[in-house]
């Protein structure tokens, strides 16, 4: 008995592959589901959605902010205050120029 496989060719860019690639499936249903996945991927490439996706690191930072700030609607005001007050301080100073001159 000969094993039959269904072949599906994925386009370039799918699953991070730079070129087209063939995928083989033992069942027709698995191949059909994969084709549907490719179709959804193509639609997403053509018309990107307005939703954001967060990885685990992003979720941890959001949880940190929520724990320390509470109301995340305050973030624009916090960032504005930081840009006015603290951002100039974090810029590196030029050690070649004295910032304060002492009369000696």
pTM of the model as a whole: 0.46
Structural element, H or E, at residue 6: strand 6-10
Mean pLDDT of 83-101: 68
Q: What is the DSSP letter of 78?
A: H
pLDDT exceeds cutoff 80 at 51? no
Cβ atoms of 20 and 11 closer than 8 Å: yes
Per-residue exposure over 64-93, b if at least 16 CB sit within 10 Å of its own CB, e if not: eeeeeeeeeeeeeeeeeeeeeeeeeeeeee
pLDDT exceeds cutoff 90 at 9? yes
Rounded to an integer, what is the distance from CA 15 to the centroid of its chain? 15
The whole-angstrom separation of Cα 51 and Cα 85 is 33
> Residue ranges of the domains in the chain?
6-46, 56-90
Condensed to tens digits (0 to 9), the pLDDT of residues 58-80 reads 899 989 999 998 888 998 998 89
Mean pLDDT of 4-26: 93
Q: How many residues does the chain have?
A: 104
């Amino acid at each position: 008995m000969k094993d039959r496989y269904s072949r599906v060719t994925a386009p370039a860019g799918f699953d991070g592959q730079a070129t087209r690639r063939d995928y083989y499936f033992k069942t027709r249903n698995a191949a059909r589901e994969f084709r549907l996945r490719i179709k959804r991927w193509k639609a997403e490439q053509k018309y990107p959605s307005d939703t954001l996706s967060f990885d685990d690191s992003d979720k941890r930072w959001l949880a940190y902010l929520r724990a320390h700030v509470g109301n995340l609607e305050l973030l624009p005001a916090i960032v504005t205050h930081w840009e006015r007050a603290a951002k100039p301080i974090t810029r590196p100073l030029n050690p070649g120029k004295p910032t304060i001159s002492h009369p000696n």
